Structure 1
C-alpha cells in the first residue's frame, strides 16, 4: 500500500446569478422567507448551451492554472454527477477529450447524488493507495437548474449549478496517507423521497411523478439527514482513531443551513467551523462540498496540514464521510473570485 494525498483543487460556477429577489418574480416567495428557512441568498445558473461537462472542464482549468498542474499524466477521471450531458457517453469521457487527457486514462461517472463527490474521493483513494493508479482526477459537478421545476416553490429556491475538481496523487511508498478514515452508507427504503423519473414508474411501491424534473420530500430528507449524518460522522472518527476536537473544519453537503445547524449541535461541533457553499451558490449537489472546501482555501481559512471532515448525503438515500489531512501543493497563481 502507498500513501495518497490531495495535491490541488479548482472550482467553477456559471456567471448568471439567480437571486432571491429574482425568484420573488417567479413564484410565491420572498427573500426573508428563503433566507430564514435555508440560508440561501443566490445561486448560479448555467446557460442553455452550458452543460455539466463544460463546468467540469472549467473547474479543472482553474485548478491547473492555480497549482501549475498538468493532466497529461492523469490515469483515471472520475466525475460525480446526477446531471450528465447524456445518459451515455459519460461526462468523464467528454472531459477527457476536452482537456486532452491521454487515451490510456480510464474515465467513468459515479452516481451517488449529493454524496457523489465523497464517494468519488473514496474510490480515488482506493485506486491510488492500492498502487493501481498514480494520479486520479476527481470532479463533483451538477447543473441542477436544468432539472428543477421552477413552478415548485419548495424546490426551485434551493438548487444551483457548479463544479469542483481535485487531484489525488500517490505520495510514495511508506509516505503519509492523507486519507485518515471513512464511512459509507445507503438506505434505499427512502429512495422515493428524492428522485427524478427514469424508465421505472414506481420505487418501493410508490408511484412517481413522471415530469422528468427533480422531486423532493424535504421534510423526510431533513429528518433522515439530521439523524443519520451525526452518527456517520462519529463512525468516520472511530474508523480514523480521531476525536472531533481534532477536526479543523467540517464540510457537510450544502443542502440547507437549517439542516447543518442541528447536525453540528448534535455533534457538539462549533457551527463557525462548518464550511458551506449554499449562501452564494445554493444546493449544487455533488459540487457543494468541493465548492465549500475551495471557498475556505480562497478565503485563507483552510490551510495545508489541517484536518477536514467531509460528509455528503442525498438521494438514494446515500451518505459518505471522509476525514482527510490536507497537503496541497503550493499555489503558483492567486485564485480569481468566483
Structure 2
C-alpha cells in the first residue's frame, strides 16, 4: 500500500490555564509530589468555563495556516477527529467551521475512534485525496477532558489534559506517503474505558446516574490486554514493508500515560531518542494527543525527506491503531 500523503502544515492550541501537579496536590489535599509521582505529569492545561472545543480547534487550525502561510479558503474538506463531541448533535465539525470563520458550504464531518481518531481521520484523508475530489484537507482534534473527570477516581483523574491540534494534508508529489495502516477492534475490552451517558442507553428518559457522565477506566485490564496484543499487531503492521519497526526514524505514540509510554519503549526495545514524548507537559489529551505530538515533531525542525514515522496508539473499544508514514 502506498497512498501519497504530504503534511504541509501543523498547529496547536492550549487553554489559558496551566495547572501544575502541585496545584492538584493542594486541590485534592494530597502531600506535595503525590500527583507527579503517580501520574508522571509536571503540568497540563485545563480549559476555562468560557472555552469550547470548537474554539480550541479553530485556534489550532489558524495557527497551522498562519505559520505556514496557507489561505483557509484553500481548504476543501474539514475532518474533526475528537473522541468526545462538543454536543451530541449536530457534529463538532460544523461548530469548528463557524468558530474558525471558514467558508460557508465547506465539506466537513466528524470521525470518532476515541484516542486514535486522528490517525483514523488521517488515513481517510489519504484515501480521499486519491479521488481528487478534495486536494487540501484539514484535520482538527480538540478535547476538553477535564470536564469529564471524576475526581474521586485517582487512577484516571490525574493523567488528563486539554488542548487541540491541527494538521493540513495534500497528496503532494507522491514521494511522501502513507505506506502502512492497521486498525483492530477487540470488543473483549469494550467496557475497560467508557463514558456511559450521552447516547440512547443512558439519558434522563432511560435512566442514568451522575457518575455516568464521567470517564471510567480499568487501568490494569487495559494494560494487560494491550501488552498481549502489541507484538502481533506491530508484526502485522510491518509485514509488507521492507524494514522493521526498529528502523523507523520517529515514533509518535498516543500519550496515554507515563506507564504506557515506558511499556511501549521497553516492550518493543525502542530508542528513547526516537519517541516523541510530550506527556509530562501535556498529559493525556485523548484524541488530540497524537496530532499534538506530531506537531511538536514537525515544529522541531528534525524531520527530513525520506524519514519514516510510526504512529501508534490504543483506544476505548478496545482498539489498536498504527500507521507508517514516509516523509
Partner in structure 2 of residue 68 of structure 1: 69
- Structure 2 residue 316 is matched with structure 1 residue 315: yes
Q: Deviations over 1:202-227 (max 9, x none)?
A: xxxxx998431111111111222233
Q: Is the 8 A contact 1:250 1:274 kept in 2?
A: yes
**Alignment of structure 1 residues 282-297 onto 2, 5 Å:** 282-297=283-298
Superposed counterparts of 1:147-296, under 5 Å: 147-172=148-173, 175-198=174-197, 199-200=200-201, 210-296=211-297
- C-alpha distance in 2 between matches for 1:86 and 1:160: 19
Q: Which residue of 1 aligns with 2:127?
A: 126
Does the 8 A contact of 1:26 with 1:150 survive in 2? no
CA distance in 2, matches of 1:208, 1:234: 42
Structure 1 counterpart SS, 2:234 = helix
Which residue of structure 1 lines up, in the alignment, with residue 42 of structure 2?
41
Task: Provide the residue aligned with 2:19 in structure 1.
Answer: 18
Name whichever of 221-230 and 123-132 sits farther off.
221-230
Deviation at 1:311, TM superposition (A): 1.0
Q: 1:157 to 1:212 in 2, by over 3 A?
A: same
C-alpha contact 2:24 2:35 (8 A) present in aligned 1 = no
Q: Is the 8 A contact 2:3 2:127 kept in 1?
A: no
Distance 1:66 1:118 in 2: 23
Give the 3-state SS of the residue equivalent to 1:171 in structure 2.
coil
Q: Do 1:230 and 1:263's aligned partners in 2 also have CA atoms closer than 8 Å?
A: no
Task: Tell me: CA distance 1:217–1:123, structure 2 relative to 1, closer, same or farther (3 Å).
Answer: same
**Aligned equivalents of 1:31 and 1:64: distance in 2?**
41
C-alpha spacing 1:30/1:55, structure 2 compared with 1 (3 Å): farther
C-alpha change, 1:154 and 1:294, in structure 2 (3 Å) is same
Shift of 1:31: 5.5
SS of the aligned residue for 1:154 comes to helix
Q: Would you say the 8 A contact 1:13–1:163 is kept in 2?
A: yes
Instruction: Report the alpha carbon displacement of residue 303 of structure 1 after superposing the two structures with TM.
Output: 4.1
Q: Which moved more, 1:222-231 or 1:191-200?
A: 222-231
The answer on whether the counterparts of 2:46 and 2:162 sit within 8 Å (CA) in structure 1 is yes
TM-score for both structures, normalised by structure 1: 0.87
CA distance in 2, matches of 1:309, 1:210: 36
Q: How does 1:320-335 map to 2 (within 5 A)?
A: 320-326=321-327
Which 10-residue stretch deviates more, 124-133 or 228-237? 228-237
Q: Secondary structure at the match of 2:313?
A: strand
For 2:316 and 2:209, the matched residues in 1 are separated by 14
Distance 1:238 1:209 in 2: 46
Provide the rounded CA distance (Å) in 2 between the counterparts of 1:135 and 1:264: 34
Deviations 1:5-39 (A, max 9, x none): 11111111112012111111233545644444432
5+ residue gaps, structure 1, are 202-206, 327-338
1:298 paired residue number: 299
CA distance in 2 between partners of 1:241 and 1:51 (Å): 44
RMSD: 2.3
Distance in 2 separating the partners of 1:194 and 1:95: 27
The 3 A distance-change label for structure 1 pair 37 and 124 is: same
Query: Would the alpha carbon gap of residues 116 and 208 (structure 1) be closer, same or farther in structure 2, given more than 3 Å must change?
Result: farther
Give a deviation string over 1:174-212, Cα, whole Å, max 9, x none: x325111111111122111111112325xxxxx998431
* Residue pair 1:197, 1:209 contacting (<8 A) in 2 also: no
